[in-house]
Each structure stands twice: as C-alpha cells, then as structure tokens.
Chains A and B, each alone.
Chain A
Amino acid sequence: MKIKAVVVLAGISLLLAARPVVAHHSFTAEFDANKPIKLTGAVTKFEWTNPHAWIYIDAKDETGTVTNWGFELAAASGLMRSGWTRFSLKPGDVVTIEGTQAKNGSKNANAQTVIVASTGRKLFAGANDQAQQP
C-alpha cells in the first residue's frame, strides 16, 4: 500500500510539473459533455499526430461484442511537453480511458484520462483542457 501511495504521489507530482496540454479545437462543437464514457480495451493504433493525437482501442461490451473506439488526445506537441512520447503506448497495451462521446454518434470520444492497465500509470490526456478559459 505504501508503495502504491508513493507511486500515486509521484504521478501527481509529474502531472503538476507538466505544462498545460493544448486544446486545439472547440470541444463543444465536437463532443457532448453530458455523454461520459469509460472503456477498457487493447490499443489497436496510436496516432502520434497534430492537431490531435488519437488512440484506438478494441473495447468489449457486456455481450462480448468488440467495437473499435477512437479517443482524441491533445496535440502531440502538447503531450510531449507533458511527458508523453510516441512510445508511451503501443498496440496490444490494455488501457482504461475516460472521456466524452462525440456528438455525431460515431465511435469517437475525447479522452480525459488514460490509465495503462499493466502499470496503473495515469497518462494525462488533456484534450479537453480549454486552458485559461475561466
């Protein structure tokens, strides 16, 4: 337990040390804040790109049906300043992502947090950081 607490604290420190992550687009134009989503699945693709990076995962629902979901992150440049690299995730890594679903009903969402199952490490996603907007 102590070790876990230390890891969590270290994670929080890293998050605090990180620079603000960049929001490039109008969040409200693309995503519905009233439609939260939390999915766990294996990464199928990790696009290290601008204006946003994207993670795709195969998520299984309660009936066992597998659906591929895309999650928008901040810009690759912003993620880099927050401690991510293009090697932070690779296909096959199991992650749990919390976010907000796309307004257009597609299997896309905006990620707020990404937790890597094997390590418990929380990767700050920050695509919804309309930083400085009070």
Chain B
Amino acid sequence: MDLNDYKVSDFYDELVTTSGRPRAASRALWKYLKSLDAEEIAERKAACEVAALVAGITFRVYFEDTGIDRAMPFDLIPRVIPKKEWDSISEGLEQRVRALNMFIDDLYNDQKIIEDGVVPADLIAGSENFREQCRGFSPPLGIWAHICGSDLVRGGDGTVYVLEDNLRIPSGVSYMLENRQVMKRVFPELFEDSGIQPVDEYPAQLFDMLASLSPRPYVLEDNLRIPSGVSYMLENRQVMKRVFPELFEDSGIQPVDEYPAQLFDMLASLSPRPVEYPNVVVLTPGVFNSAYFEHAYLAQQMGVELVEGRDLVVDDDNNVFMRTIAGLEPVDVIYRRVDDAFIDPEVFRPDSLLGVPGLMRAWRSNKVALANAPGAGVADDKVVYAWVPEIIRYYLGEKPKLANVPTWKCSDPEDRKYVLAHIEELVIKPANESGGYGMLIGPRSTRKEQREFARLIKDDPRNYVAQPTLALSTCPTMVPGGVGARHVDLRPFILSGQQTFVTTGGLTRVAMKAGSLVVNSSQGGGSKDTWIVDTEAAGRAGGAS
C-alpha cells in the first residue's frame, strides 16, 4: 500500500504525526500495510466485505416509510490507541458514569443537587426524559444506567473530549465485536505478538452484570440449570465457520473460538457451588427495529432468550414471566432495547404494542431488574451534559478526569445571546435527539438554516445547547483510489453492576465522505476496528512483522 502519498490532514491524525511518520503504537501496523501491494489490499478488502455481508452486519436505514437493510461500511485500516492513554480514558469514563448514576438516583429521590443550588430546577422541569413514574424509587445499588455508550472525540490539540453520553438504549457494541472478528480473519498475522488487547469478553461481562441485578435471591439447588440458548450460540458459531471456508483458505485465518470457551468456563466455574441461575432476557421491539441485528447477536452471544413484549406477561403479584412451551417461566433480568415510552402501556404510551403491561409495577416492586432503568435517559439530555463536570465534583468530590466540550446553554440569557450572535461558527444541538438528527453545523449551514435555528432556539431555549465546531481527529481510511484522512469518533461502552467494566476501546465510527463530520451509521458513516496497543508488550515481542 502506498502510504508515502498519505496526505496528513490539518487535524490531529490518529495514526501519523504531522511529519507523516507513524505514531509509536501504530508503527508495526504502518510497516505492515506498506508491505502489501495493491492486489493484496484489494483481496483483503473484498474478503472484509464478504465477511461483513455474510455475517449479516446490517442496520436499517429509514428512508420515508420503507426501511432497508444495508451493510455498514467497514474500513480495513484500524484505529490505534496506546494502552497507557486508554487506561486513563477508561478511568475517566468510570468516574463519569458513577457520577451520572448518583445524579439520576438523586433526581428521582431527594433532589439534593437542586436543593444545594448546583444545577437549576428547570433542568428537570424541561426534560423530556424525566419520568415522573420513577419518582421515589431507587433500583438496587442505585444504578440506573447499567449500559452506557459515551461518544468520545479528539480535538486539534490531541485532547480527548466526551461529546455525549448515551444512557437510554445505546447501540453499536455488536459492530465493535464483529469488526474485530473480521480483522482477525483478514489480518491474522498482525495480531501475533502485537500487544492488541482483546475485546471479546464484553458479552460475558454483560451477562455477569445483568445476572448480578437479579432480585431473586440466589439459592442452592440440585442442578445447575444451563440456559438452552447456549447451544444455539455454539451452533451458530459452528455454522459461521462453515459459511466462511473460502476466507479461511485464502487468508490462512485461524479459527476464533475463545468466546464460547470463556462462557463455558464461566458456567463451569459455577458448578462447585450450584446456584439457581437467574433468567436473563433481551427485550427487542422486533425484527423491524434498526438495531435488531445487535439484539439477536447479543442474545446469542450471551446465550439468553431474545424476547418481544408479547412473550412476556406480568401477573397480579407483579411477577414477570415469559410464555414458553412449558408454560410460564419466571424472568429476573430484562436487558431492554425498547424505549421507555413504549415499555409499559399501563404507565406510558397506552397504544404501545411493543411493551409489557405491568412491567413498571414489577420493576418498582423489585420483582424484576430492568437495564437500563426507565428514566435513566434524564441524564442523556444534552443540557444535562453541560452540567456533568459540576455533577462529578458534587457527588464524588473529584476533579473530572475526562474533558467536556465547552457548551453554551441556550436557557441561560448570556449564553443564548452569544449563541445567536455566533450561530454560523457553532454546532447547535437539540437536547433530546440522537443519531445526528436535528442539529445544525454552523460553518456548513446556509443562511436560511441558521435563521430557522435562531427561531427554534428563541421558541424553546431549554431544548438547545451549542458547542464550538471541533477539529475532530482523522484516521487514514481506504477511499476510492487510495488512502485518505477521514474524521472519526469513538464509542466505548461502560457496564455498571456490582463491578464496572469498560470495553477495551470501542466502536470507531468514521465519516466516509472527505471533510464530513457526520459519523452516524444512519447517515452513511462507517466503522473501523479499534486497537488498544500495549506498546511495551509489543516491543518486548518484537511487534508484528
């Protein structure tokens, strides 16, 4: 691959320095990529595409009324982060999520943070995601956001900022896992001795975290019950291998089997002291949801049932069951991928067919754990985001380890005046939208769009915040005719249960169009494998050749 031609952008580049030389952690990768000729690259690229297509890594794009499945563009060149840097990012994420969970728990209970004047009362009053139905309740361990996906970006000076926290039903982790599978198949030689940290333990960690939420006390029982889904997962993995023979032959790819082994180990480790195995399920809105692939994938990887609302039923004593061929089977933990508003027609939208009548009663009486807890989205709000540094200081008495992007709150008269005067330089974001919808990127907008947003802000100031346009970092990316610099962000996932777990790296999303800052998959963004490289370990082993 001719990398001498790679034009280093004016932005911070993840792999190379301004002088065009690879950064320490990417040296081995760079050398390797350079050693491949055009034909080899084309071959690997085709192999990636086939792998992604056959694995069914698709998401649904909504265009007018018709949803279509589309493969998410996957880029061959990984993004590399040195382990040392990642360790401190990871600590910062843990700190942030810990504080956010305390904040949510406080909001639904005593609201001390408002009483103490740290955040204004209208923070809740104007929040779409504040659920009155959750007032006066605290889930076990006070944890509301068990699964958090935070978006990180790197600015021009190399600082990593948190751009937003997704506390409702963040998605993308399946892409992170699948991307790694694809990379290992296509570039097996790179993974030898390169010190790249594995990512596959996420499903096992997710399961452990969900299981730890079970309200049913663990009791001794004669038999260890193994959820039957495990066999499907193994079956699926076997099938995957049969589907890919040509890939294995062409590229000398080694089988990747560690996940089932880990899961088996985990199950086997339970046997000396047999406990009743909590029933964990993934609740999906169904096959037409844009993230259905991920729901099915995670359920399979964890070996648990993938259920829809109509599979569940809540009885008069607030117990939750799933309808099985053997009658009603108790459910202890629900990893729900259905939005709050649709989760229980008894309490929220009465017309919802996706939810389960009575689920909120069951949750509030501690008969079932919901992850994430309903109402957790209150802290997902872009306006709350602006207050996170204060929130961390207030609850933890610590200095925030990760930087927030400077944010103007349009509800504040001074800030609003500034925003309206500088609208063409700023990024304007609505408080409750996600997926990159409904925002204005000042420097790329027309006069007409700016006037429209000025009006929106004046009509509903609470609903808007503004941030400077960030000089997002870039990463070398395969583009037609060679390699070009494309903007990237990063979405790691943070699991909070009795212990906290941060994924090793996360999902790197990449804007496939030159100069574009929009990385969302729903708007044509692609993804990359993300390597956390332990340079010291790699150095000792001599690195990849």
- Is the pairing of A and B real? no
